[in-house]
Structure 1
């Protein structure tokens, strides 16, 4: 069941949306502090129900309800207000229900059940399975298994990725046009934007993922609800998990979670800054883990982690040198020589340069011992 919320109090809007999402059978497709914008949204894309505050500036909820009855006669109205004296007027306008603030979840659930019965929509329970969006290397979704998301178009994929990238904040529609349709005239651009938003919503619905694009004033915001993002979970784990014997397996698991750089499969210029930021965190993590393993006397395990770092950062002088020094600690001079030869080739082929002087000096000293 699709709903639009209208209330001039931002906190009230957020609270009502949160309660509806917790109930789990309502998709909030837009929420507005400006009732006139709400009326425009209803006319353009009529929802099943509008939750409408009565006391609003410029145009009251009662006046708005009268206009809604004309513009979207199939849309139900539920009044939400702090003033009980409006109840009679609400039912004169054929409102389905009248809820007093602060909204209680149990009371709201009864209203939603009544709406579902009127619309013939059975209540939909909240998603019970864990879902994760994977953004390292490629964009995928973990449901029963990890699989690519079946996008209708490449624009749908990029728009979803962009909203995911800015998930903590609303994104204005004109900003989306500048990023995704910079060469298209404004009227056509908006048409393509609305079509693509619709495609994404249908894709998420077909997957059964509780991911929603919510209209927010003059833009959109992606709401993930209980869906997790691999990059977010990975960064939290790296930053908050101490390196100690009891957490070693967790840190090795974090290495596995980083499957590749952030959205590396795509040439999204807007993702480059985040890609480099996460890559820097990853570099520090893998090097810190290898150094910790060495300090704990787990030198072969440290070698293994350094090799992983080399696969992830093949052009890093620091990784090459660290691996050479690790082999030196093990007394494996043949591997030191092979490592130095590999570094020479990399510097020559990729940078048309020599091995840096400090590393050359270290290697010559090693050869004399």
Structure 2
């Protein structure tokens, strides 16, 4: 079972330490935060996305039951377990849909019962999420949204600023994005008051567009940290799915080559390729490199197996997707040489030199040049029969 993420909130330091120690002695829990200040805990809940919050009812500044309401607003699926010294508060706790309560001083035997209830409840929720058909966001090539049973469609925004703000927030989903960072990205020429006005307006527009589209993606304000967090929990994302599928593959073989082919085909284009945002280049390059490495291994496998038609298709796909990637031309040159297609070898070399010259103002690598020179030198001898 996946670890259960736990947040602890209690204004007594010793109580926090004791509860953390008890939970750490039990299996299946990850303590993602422990807070004396309930306001900070509520703010951070939208970032940390805990599965359960152990919450003291008697807290300074915010009464525990009010804090629970605010936590439910921030994280609708979170489980609340109240910590109280008074059993009379248990009735009130359950009116707020709290899963359970534990009494101070904490007893391991009673906490163990709560833990079992938590595990059953959270596992049930996770199974429900897996069996329901989620909305899917496509980031490869073009940013699109796909609802169950429908074709992907491009997301429409009121302004280009709204589109880039959403895309930037989605790129950093689950992470704090400070207002100052958004100022610099979108309104660097404006003074702070004017940039702030534009930011608030654009955030409002994005939120309204998300409601209109009907997708459960929420942008939460974090006043303490002076920024925002985009919550896309429950949304399927094509890049995440593709990378997960890629990493679970075992080395290519006769038994799984079709699966490798399927994963190669899942990569529809580079990350946010059509938008071309400079801030997404690192992720674009990272994913592209993973794909190229995988495709290279698949192509090499086909060559070793003598499956030249499949190898040609793989290397040509590589070339179409990444026209400046020299290795695809080199692999095709060698493959066409094996197939004794001299015209095709020459064509690949000409394409490579032209692409590198026009786009990058460079020439083929020494490895390619040496191979080509040797190949050219051998051809006249082979054709004359000497």
Q: TM-score, normalised on structure 1?
A: 0.68
> 1:241: Cα distance to partner?
1.1
Judge conservation of contact 2:135–2:145 (CA < 8 Å) in 1: yes
2:349 equivalent to 1:361: no
Q: Is the CA contact 1:54–1:60 (under 8 Å) kept in the aligned structure 2?
A: no
Contact in 2 for aligned 1:39/1:64 (Cα 8 Å): no
- 1:82 and 2:83 equivalent? yes
CA distance in 2, matches of 1:239, 1:152: 38
Partner Cα distance (1:269, 1:353) in 2 = 23
Find the partner of 1:343 among 329, 349, 352.
352
C-alpha displacement of 1:168: 4.4
Per-residue deviation at 1:194? 3.3
1:258-278 Cα distance to aligned partner (Å, 9 max, x none): 222211222422111111111
Q: Deviations over 1:286-324 (max 9, x none)?
A: 222111111122111101111111111222322111101
Which residue in 1 is equivalent to 2:58?
Answer: 55
Q: Deviations over 1:143-200 (max 9, x none)?
A: 1210011222222221221122122422233333332332333334334333333333
1:62–1:90 contact (8 Å) kept in structure 2: no
Structure 1: any 5+ residue segments left out of the alignment?
1-5, 13-31, 41-50, 69-78, 109-124
Distance 1:263 1:360, change over 3 A: same
Q: Following TM superposition, by how much is the alpha carbon of 1:279 offset from its aligned partner in structure 2, in angstroms?
A: 1.6
**Cα pair 2:9 2:41 within 8 Å, conserved:** no
CA–CA distance in 1 between the matches of 2:358 and 2:42? 63
> 1:239 & 1:35 partners in 2: Cα distance?
39
- TM-aligned CA distance change 1:345 to 1:204, over 3 Å: same
User: Is contact 1:234-1:257 (8 Å) kept?
Assistant: yes
Flag structure 2 segments of 5+ consecutive residues without an equivalent. Answer: 1-6, 11-15, 20-34, 44-53, 71-79, 102-113, 122-127
Give the match for residue 225 of structure 1.
Answer: 233
The normalised TM-score by structure 2 is: 0.66
In structure 2, the residue matched to 1:272 is 281
Match of 1:238 in 2: 246
In the alignment, the residues of structure 2 paired with residue 212 and residue 366 of structure 1 have an alpha-carbon distance, to the nearest angstrom, of: 65
Select between 259-268 and 205-214 the one with higher mean Cα deviation. Answer: 205-214
Per-residue CA shift, 1:181-231, capped at 9, x if unaligned? 323333343343333333333333333333222344523322222212111
Residue equivalent to 1:207: 213
Cα 1:215/1:244, change in 2 over 3 Å: farther
Within 5 Å, give how 1:18-37 maps onto structure 2: 34-35=37-38
Does the 8 A contact of 1:328 with 1:336 survive in 2? yes
**Pair 1:129 & 2:133 matched:** yes
Task: Say yes or no: does 1:150 pair with 2:151.
Answer: no
- Between the two proteins, the alignment pairs up a number of residues equal to 306
Match of 1:333 among 327, 339, 342: 342
Choose which of 291, 295, 302 in structure 2 pairs with 1:293. Answer: 302
